[in-house]
């Protein structure tokens, strides 16, 4: 999506360790008008698939999920991160490795809010190694609900998450796919076909 | 706001320890269409005050802040919770006591995203003892920005937060103000004047 690629080139910052910072518009400060354009694009790509629920993960997925849900006319459910090992009986649980923070945490969703028959679109800001997305897909599977697809804002396509999840048969649509980035050369994108 | 009071009466649940659970529409599953109505109401109350930024706190404030920001045409900034004691030079920091979880955590906002001259509306889902709101107000003060007011979805008016913050001279507008609640009698609201 050219609009997003231009925004990343203009406002994204590449920091130490080749971390892409997009916190001026996506995950600290949120440019809500811009997110609207992303939400419209997700709806263009997934709008005819009978989505009745959007699932995301706290915290930075919530904004983009809520804005996107307006186009689908459906509710958002966000998985909560927890460090407790208590497994409650009334929640579905999964595990997510955070490479940024070097920890593994549990994610939970109340069983009330994911049900058999639900057609779920997963929305998240980033896809890199795919751990968060895999964790979310497990919650949906445990609930007996159906995964319609995954809508990702920025995919680091040089990492394995995208292939991993697509290899599971899930339709993944990433609005920007980064093929390489470095402080010297900036961000390079995979061209849309 | 009658629409919200009716929703709380209908879908809210009072659990052990007189905890009000509104996680079917506000802070786990999010009824985005309903939040739109709340956002419109915040705009009705604060729309003529030159707000150019909405500040909230992760995670459950993000959804309502993003939906509300659409009516104001301004960005959202969300404060991040952190358990590290590292005070970075490029962030404003505050402390928040969580009575629910029995811990104190630091909140941070990047200095880039709160500036002198900003007219900031704080949005949050709950106001009880006022610790989170006080923490957010400190960030705004540290940045030399101006607090336009605080828009709260649900105020537990039988706790001291509302008086505390109003006593600091901040305009607090809560869309529902609970005067009392119990499993036996349900939720009672303070009538709007």
For the domain made up of B31-179, give the CATH fold.
Answer: Rossmann fold (3.40.50)
Mean pLDDT of all residues belonging to chain B: 94
Does residue B49 belong to the interface with chain A, where contact is any CB pair within 8 Å?
Answer: no
Q: What is the DSSP letter of A177?
A: E
Per-residue pLDDT at A87:
53
Please report the pLDDT score of residue B86 as a whole number.
55
pLDDT tens digits along B27-41: 999 999 999 999 999
Comparing A149-153, B96-100, B119-123, which segment has the lowest mean pLDDT? B96-100
pLDDT of residue B85: 54
Interface pTM, i.e. ipTM: 0.95
Contact B106, B85 (CB under 8 A): yes
Q: Do A28 and B59 make contact, defined as CB atoms within 8 angstroms?
A: no
The distance of A71 to chain B (nearest Cα, Å) reads 10
In this predicted structure, what is the pLDDT of residue B59?
A: 94
Task: Answer for the pair A25, A7: CB distance below 8 angstroms, yes or no.
Answer: yes
- CATH entry 3.40.50.2020 includes domain A2-189: yes
SS3 sequence, chain B? CHHHHHHHHHHCEEEHHHEEECCCCCCCEECHHHHHHHHHHHHHHHCCCCCCEEEEECCCHHHHHHHHHHHHCCCEEEEEEECCCCCCCCEEEEEEEECCCCEEEEEEEEHHHCCCCCEEEEEEEEECCCHHHHHHHHHHHHCCCEEEEEEEEEEECCCCHHHHHHHCCCCEEEEEEEEEEECCCEEEECCCC
φ and ψ at residue B9, rounded to 5 degrees: -60, -40
Write out the H or E segment, with its range, that includes residue A138.
helix A131-142
Q: pLDDT of B47-106, one tens digit each?
A: 999 999 999 999 999 999 999 999 999 999 999 998 655 556 799 999 999 877 788 999
Q: Each residue of A88-139: pLDDT tens digit?
A: 679 999 999 987 778 899 999 999 999 999 999 999 999 999 999 999 999 9
Q: Is B167 on the interface with A (CB under 8 A)?
A: no
Min Cα–Cα distance to chain B from A192, Å:
29
| Residue-wise pLDDT tens digits, B144-164 | 999 999 999 999 999 999 999
């Amino acid at each position: 999506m050219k609009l997003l690629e231009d925004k990343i080139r203009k406002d994204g910052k590449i920091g130490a360790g080749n971390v892409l910072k997009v916190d001026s518009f996506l995950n600290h400060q949120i440019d809500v008008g811009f997110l609207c354009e992303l939400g419209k694009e997700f709806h263009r790509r997934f709008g005819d698939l009978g989505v009745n629920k959007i699932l995301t993960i706290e915290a930075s997925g919530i904004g983009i999920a809520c804005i996107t849900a307006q186009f689908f006319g459906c509710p958002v459910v966000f998985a909560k991160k927890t460090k407790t090992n208590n497994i409650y009986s009334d929640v579905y649980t999964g595990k997510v490795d955070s490479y940024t923070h070097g920890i593994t945490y549990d994610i939970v969703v109340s069983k009330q809010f994911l049900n058999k028959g639900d057609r779920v679109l997963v929305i998240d800001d980033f896809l890199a190694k795919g751990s968060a997305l895999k964790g979310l897909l497990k919650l949906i599977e445990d609930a007996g609900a159906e995964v319609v697809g995954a809508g990702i804002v920025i995919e680091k396509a040089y990492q394995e998450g995208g292939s991993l999840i697509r290899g599971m048969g899930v339709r993944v649509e990433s609005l920007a796919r980064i093929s390489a980035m470095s402080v010297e050369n900036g961000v390079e994108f995979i061209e849309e076909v």
